[in-house]
Structure 1
Amino acid sequence: MQFPRLRSLPVWQQDALIALATWVVGFGIYATGNHRLLGAHDDAPLWVRLIELTVLCGLAMLRRWVPGALIIATAVLAVDVWISTSLPALIVYTDFLYAATLYGSRRTSRVMIGLAALSVAGALVAVLVLAHEWRVAVLAAVTVLPFAVMPVWWATNVRQQRDIAETERANARQLAKIAELDRRAAVAAERGRMARDLHDVIAGHLSAIAIQSEAALSMPDPKLARTVLRSVRENSVSALEEMRAMIGLLKTDGGAAETTAPARLTELLKLVESARASGLDVAVGSTVDVVLPAAVDLTAYRIAQEALTNAAKHAPGGRVDVDVCFYDQVLQVKIRNDVFHADTEPADGAGLLNMRERADAVGGTLTAGPADGGWLVRADLPVSDQR
């Protein structure tokens, strides 16, 4: 037969079992006559002792009622001391000291510690006054020590450990909450990054496709129109590949989906050829001959892609200068359009916002605005902090 663990029982059942076990032990001590602490004889009849024991054990059912149970138990103990101090009464009373220290308020717990210390000192002084020898006084103080000090000391330690455990649980809950907030922030940041990537892929490639297809429809030269249509197809294929890669990253089935490598500045000529097919006169100047960190390389490519797309939209047929250079651990990307009109100024919408956010994500800066009769996009991307 398996008995349930004491801690799993309701509180009142725990206290009832403790009271019953205490009463049985106390009855055994009284029945065998081993209850006397002072003196060899006990004039009180057994039924009086059992009444005291029953009252104290009954109060043990209310041991968590602080300080009421302790006050009543102290009154019963005073009667026991007046008759003749007995061992079972002191044993039961120690549990009230323990309960008051453990279950009472913090102030009550501190008061119990002070009372325990005063009880030992008071017993020592009283016995020194009443006893004939100092040895008897010391013996009495040592006798009081386990009954008054030990329960309070033990309950204080249990309470401290309980408070520490509660503090640790509260800290764990706070850390879990902070971790959840960090996770949500990371998800939000990742969604923002993916939104920028989607904008770059869709807006960049599809805008180029729309512009180039419109140009192809108006071209009388079939050979030139075929060249433009070839560029349209390349943009379409690139858009599909990048979209397929992003969809693969979004999959949650754990499969090893094949993904394409992120775009880099080594593919800048593809952007330039696409822009030229859209009718722009693009001149490229590049002096980058170092291996760039992936984040900076991708950021520079996306900024160049967005700037060329904007140039094709707002200044068709104009000249665009693309200059990429590296100096003092900074990668500088400049895209300048010579044709600029106030009524065709690009709005500060998702395109420019995405470029600024990309530059800021790698610790760089981006400026865009009128310059020397045209429109200049300039990005300064630090490289040293990304390695």
Structure 2
Amino acid sequence: MPTDVRVRDLGYAAAYLLGSVFLLMVVPVARITWWQAEPSPALWVELAQIGVACVGATQRRSHPLVGLGLTTAAMAWGIVITGGTGTGVLLMFTDLLYCAVLHTSRRVSWAVSGAAGVVIVALGVVGLIAKGPSDAVQILLSITALLGIPVLWGREVRRHQEQAGVERDRADQTRRVAELDRLAAVTAERASMARDLHDVIAGQLSAIAIQSEAVLSLPDPDPATLRRVLTSVRTTSVASLNEMRTMIGLLREDDAAADEPRTAPAGLDSLGTLLETARATGLTITLDDRRPPAAAVPAAVDLAAYRIVQESLTNAAKHAPGSAVGLTLRNDAGMLVVEIDNDLVPDAAPAGGTGTGLLGLRERASAVGGRVVAEQHGTRWSVRASLPVPS
């Protein structure tokens, strides 16, 4: 039991002691007389009764059953010896009865409530037999007020406390579920960002590596070619740096960099820059855009289509350097169809890879409700993506 609870109980007991002694000394008639004792009881008997009840009051929260037993004994002693019960002792008894219902286990609480009900009925029957109907009604009303009100009050407060506890547990459970959902959403978003990071940075760095290798492989590159390739390398490097800064800023958990500008995710409207970068690697790219003007494309589909084109061009530059690439964009039955095909180069040196690029394309298309098919057709390699768009 916490110390503050014990101190509070001692305060209650001290207040009961002072109030009971004051009533005994100043207003001695403030008591219930059960029968007239002859001769009148000595003062110390009354004070002893109050003292025993006050000792019980010190246990109102820590050991309410013990406290109830002591106050019940004090009240019974007063009825037998003095023929009455002081108001102070009566208040302590009702308070301890209330605490015994409220601050004990569920089983004990119901046992105390049941015992109080049995006593009320028993005393009512005894009064009916001994005093007759008229006096029995008065006795029953008095006993009901003495025992029934504290019990009913304790039961009601206990019910509200239990209901509040259930609501707190439910709120805690809801909060934990919401936190788990939030963590799951953050994890999924971070996984999506990781795919974006691979699609963007890996493609751009691969382009830089291929362009650099192309320049180094030339025995005596002319200044115009060298300048064009180095300009493309610089442009791609700056774009990679901006994309990296954007992704790192999104992944940070604090808002320290909230005021820093962040680039928007690329879409099909940025195809021109992407194709120029790919052409700088040596690819010959033909674009056939059959989409209707100002066609509405959801942002997620727009980003997915751009990443699919970017990854496909990167793979073509890796595995078929210098090949001819055809890129077709068209709308077909509520689907945005993206087709990229390139010549296969039999004598090209094999390029290492983990195979995550093609897997990433399929996952990205699946995330927006589409699909990607990559396969060989004769001497050409084809990637076909179908992504849903509003009709």
Q: How would you bin the TM-score normalised by the shorter chain?
A: 0.7 to 0.9
Structure 1 CA distance for aligned equivalents of residues 381 and 70 of structure 2? 91
Give distance in 2, aligned partners of 1:244 and 1:68: 70
C-alpha distance in structure 2 between counterparts of 1:92 and 1:141, whole Å: 21
My pick for the range that moved more, 241-250 or 200-209, is 241-250
Query: In the TM superposition, what whole-angstrom CA distance separates every residue of 1:181-236 from its partner, at most 9, and x where no partner exists?
Result: 34433443343333233323321112112212322344566355554444334323
Confirm whether residue 302 of structure 1 aligns to residue 302 of structure 2: no
What do the CA deviations read for 1:129-149 (whole angstroms, capped 9, x no partner)?
A: 1113x2221111111122101
SS of match in other structure, 2:31 = coil
Which segment drifts farther, 93-102 or 226-235? 226-235
TM-score, with structure 1 as normaliser:
0.84
Shift in alpha-carbon separation, 1:374–1:77, aligned structure 2, 3 A: farther
| Structure 2 residue 272 is matched with structure 1 residue 269 | yes
CA contact under 8 A between 1:131 and 1:137: conserved in structure 2? yes
Does structure 2 conserve the Cα–Cα contact (< 8 Å) formed by 1:283 and 1:321? yes
Relative to structure 1, the CA distance from residue 318 to residue 137 in structure 2 (aligned partners, 3 Å threshold; closer, same or farther) is same
Percent of residue pairs bearing the same amino acid type: 41
Matched-pair contact (CA < 8 Å) for 1:91–1:147: no
Q: Which moved more, 1:194-203 or 1:35-44?
A: 35-44
**Cα distance 1:303–1:55, how it changes in 2: closer, same or farther (>3 A)?**
same
Give distance in 1, aligned partners of 2:225 and 2:151: 98
CA distance in 2, matches of 1:375, 1:343: 16
Deviation at 1:103, TM superposition (A): 1.1
Quick one: structure 1 residues 36 and 157, their matched pair in 2 at CA, closer, same or farther if it must change by over 3 Å?
closer
Rounded to whole Å, the distance in 2 between the matches of 1:19 and 1:234 is 84
Q: Does structure 2 retain, via aligned residues, the 8 Å contact 1:60–1:96?
A: yes
How far does the alpha carbon of each residue in 1:101-120 deviate from its partner, in whole angstroms, 9 at most, with x for none?
A: 11110011122222233333
1:356 correspondence with 2:350 = no
Structure 2 CA distance, aligned partners of 1:296 and 1:156?
Answer: 61
Greater shift, 257-266 or 224-233, is seen at 224-233
Output the amino acid matched with 1:26.
S
Q: Which residue number in structure 2 is paired with residue 157 of structure 1?
A: 156
Structure 1, unaligned stretches of length 5 or more? 1-7
CA distance in 2, matches of 1:325, 1:59: 89
Q: Matches of 2:257 and 2:268 in 1, distance apart?
A: 31
Partner residue in 2 for 1:50: 47
AA in 1 matched with 2:29 = G
2:67: which partner in 1? Answer: 69
Give the deviation of 1:306 after TM superposition: 0.9
* CA root-mean-square deviation: 3.1
Contact 2:58–2:67 (8 Å) recurs in 1: no
Structure 1 residues 382, 345: closer, same or farther in 2, change over 3 A? farther
Equivalent pair of 1:369/1:376 in contact (CA under 8 Å): yes
SS at match of 1:86: strand
What residue in structure 1 maps to residue 236 of structure 2? 235
User: In structure 2, how many angstroms separate the alpha carbons of the residues matched to 1:300 and 1:356?
Assistant: 11
- Correspondent of 2:261 among 258, 261, 284: 258
Residue-by-residue CA offset, 1:8-30 (whole Å, 9 max, x unaligned) = 97111111111121122222333
Contact 2:335–2:389 (8 Å) recurs in 1: yes
Aligned with 1:25 (options 10, 19, 29): 19
Deviates more, 1:318-327 or 1:342-351: 342-351
Deviates further, 172-181 or 206-215: 172-181
Query: Partner of 1:211 in structure 2?
Result: 210
How much has 1:100 moved relative to structure 2?
A: 0.9
Q: Aligned AA for 2:102?
A: L
Aligned counterpart for 1:313 among listed residues 296, 310, 318: 318
SS in 2 for 1:381: strand
Residue in structure 1 matched with residue 6 of structure 2 by the alignment:
12
Q: Distance in 1 between matches of 2:376 and 2:43?
A: 108
Q: Is the 8 A contact 1:340 1:375 kept in 2?
A: no
| Amino acid paired to 2:12 | I
Contact 2:113 2:151 in 1 (8 A): yes
Equivalent of residue 36 in structure 1, options 32, 40, 48:
32
CA deviations on 1:252-274 (whole Å, 9 max, x unpaired) are 32553233332111222332333
CA shift in 2, pair 1:98/1:343, >3 Å: farther
Deviation string 1:62-107 (CA, Å, 9 cap, x unpaired) is 2331534334443443333333241433322112211111111001
1:367 and 1:97 map into 2 onto residues whose CA distance is 79
Query: What's the CA shift string for 1:245-301, capped at 9, x where partnerless?
Result: 445555832553233332111222332333233233333332233121222211211
CA shift in 2, pair 1:65/1:22, >3 Å: same
Mean CA deviation greater in 261-270 or 167-176:
167-176
- Aligned residues, how many? 377
| Letter matched to residue 197 of structure 2 | L
SS at match of 2:49: helix
Match of 1:4 in 2: none
For 1:92 and 1:26, locate their aligned partners in 2 and report how far apart those are by CA, in whole Å.
10
